[in-house]
Amino acid sequence: MSTHKYTIGVDFGTESGRAVLVDVTNGQEIAAAIHPYANGVIDEKLPDSDVQLEPDWALQDPNDYLEVFKQAIPAVLKQSGGEAEDVIGLGIDFTACTMLPTKADGTPLCFLPEWRNNPHAWIKLWKHHAAQPEANNLNEIARELGYTFLDRYGGKISSEWFFPKAWQILDEAPEVYEAADRLIEAADWVVWQLTGQEKRNSCTAGYKAMWSKREGFPPNEFFKALDPRMENIVDQKMSRDIYTLGDKAGGLSVQAAGWTGLKPETAVAVANVDAHVAVPSATVTEAGRMVIIMGTSNCHMVMGEEEAVVPGMCGYVDEGIVPGLFGYEAGQSCVGDHFAWFTDNCVSAAYEREAEKRGLSIHELLEEKASALKPGQSGLIALDWWNGNRSVLVDVDLSGVLLGTTLATKAEEIYRALIEATAYGTRKIIETFDAHGVPVNEIVATGGLPDRNKLLMQIYADVSGRPIHTVGTTQGGALGSAMHGAVAAGKAAGGYETIQEASKHMARLGFAKYEPIPQNKAIYDKLYAEYNTLHDYFGRGANDVMKRLKALKKSVKSQI
């Protein structure tokens, strides 16, 4: 290990944290270790207590994150057989918005006996959805008062984001809000624990906390309009100092060096979001190439040189992904989830037996059967709104449609139609970007799906009419973090000056590449035109049947 230098990326997911030790020279992943969170997702009752949680709650335990440092980093060091002094930097990425209240010294309130039994003292995980009333109020007030920052987020702030969560604490547990000297993203909190420095990153601030490089946070009057007690939330409990991705947050503290086995003063980068950090690790550090993280849902990220307001996008942040460029994000709320729903609910016992007999998963069997079909052969078309529409229309009250069924319709035809529907949804997003000044010329796919479902990849290429590359890593988050660690370490220490430089050396594309097949593309152009007509008919007010059905469902359920 003497001539090469290494960095470590730590990727904090929903159920576990993962450390990967990477060769700075060539991006080779030398060692990896996963440490599952002891308390996982806390959604029923608080640990070691009888305090029950309401539905829609999802909490975590900050100690579980520290354990990742204490277990997974020593594990990769040991696996690699390397020396701590050859590790020049450390980067982390995190789910977001995942936030917590702490004391001024960074101690989480939930570590303190007097707050331990209060759910609001714990970490609110990204998928904590109980702040919906606060999100609704925030959106309404912002619109009424004419604030324009909503434009940067497709017109709407999600209940998953920072201020709805903070406001819920104030609403429901003002004593916790009062006791919290700091309200902070877990991403920034773990960097603080490593370095002793509270340094907040531009990615979570921009995408989750309504911050922009040019305008900063919304003004105090806005927060006052939400609740007078929140007027000074930014100055009192947050910070207006926001750091660029790749910046060095500080050096590893002696205490954290003890936890990890790394050398004190090892460079630690400011934190990042798990999705966004996967962009440079997918080789993308310039405008025009979209990265799609494909998994249970799809997250689309692309950069542009100009500021553009793209209808219905999740958000855009200046320098939110890579310094010097605007980072645009869009999403489809239901992709892998679609297929999982289908196989869980709608695949016959006969197919299950066939899959078992042939040693295939049900997904593999369906993929095989669906691959034998040509585009257009099933006569089916679907709208991919099983979980609402997160982009372009931004409407959670929309629901799914399957059209064209006959008595001869087979499960694999429906399965393929659902894949196609998500591809049409992605094309819709791409074309909306393109039409509003953010060109998309090529796609790089990462996440769990690309390696598992070749049919899906080909369909995405055919439908979008763009070549789709895969990436040369299965650790897009951790590798991206390790790359940021190399930038934080800097050239003198054996790292890089910029993320572009790091990406050039450390990131690579995968072998698999999918080119649009012209005759498929021609058929999908026709089908996409049908999708578009249905998309607008059901999604833009011509027939609000989905909303009426949902309202009726709600009213019926309320009477049961």
Residues engaged in binding a copy of itself (CB under 8 A): 334, 337-338, 341, 344-349, 352-353, 374-381, 386-387, 399-407, 409-411, 414, 523, 526-527, 530, 533-534, 537-538, 543, 545-546, 548-550, 552-553, 555-557, 559-560
3-class secondary structure, 556: helix
Q: If phi over 0 gives left and psi between -120 and 50 gives alpha, with beta otherwise, what is residue 191?
A: alpha
d(CA 326, CA 317): 6
Q: Give the number of residues written for the chain.
A: 560
Instruction: Please state the φ and ψ torsions of residue 193, each to the nearest 5 degrees.
Output: -65, -30
Mapping DSSP onto H, E and C, the string for 161-230 reads: CHHHHHHHHHHHCHHHHHHCCEEEEHHHHHHHHHHCCCCEEHHHHHHHCCCECCCECCCHHHHHHHCHHH
**Residues contacting residue 371 through CB under 8 Å, at least 6 positions apart:** 454, 455
CA distances from 434 to 154, 303, 305, 332, 533 (A): 16, 12, 13, 17, 19
Of residues 288, 302, 340, the one with CA closest to residue 453: 340
Name the residue type at position 530.
E
> Could you tell me if 34 and 16 are in contact, meaning their C-beta atoms sit under 8 angstroms apart?
yes
d(CA 155, CA 283): 30
CA distances from 76 to 17, 31, 63, 92 (A): 13, 5, 20, 15
d(CA 220, CA 235): 9
105 burial via Cβ count (<10 Å: 0-12, 13-18, 19+): exposed
Strands 242-243 and 200-201: parallel
d(CA 13, CA 17): 6
Compute, in degrees rounded to 10, the torsion defined by CA atoms 427, 430, 436, 442: -140
**Residues contacting residue 559 through CB under 8 Å, at least 6 positions apart:** none
3-class secondary structure, 393: coil
3-class secondary structure, 461: helix
| Distance, first Cα to last Cα, the chain | 67
**Residues contacting residue 108 through CB under 8 Å, at least 6 positions apart:** 62, 100, 101, 102, 121, 122, 123, 189
> What's the token pair of residue 189?
């909190």
Q: What is the number of other CB atoms lying within 10 angstroms of the CB of residue 558?
A: 7
d(CA 362, CA 373): 17
> Could you tell me if 21 and 77 are in contact, meaning their C-beta atoms sit under 8 angstroms apart?
yes
> Could you tell me if 280 and 325 are in contact, meaning their C-beta atoms sit under 8 angstroms apart?
no
Name the residue type at position 162.
F
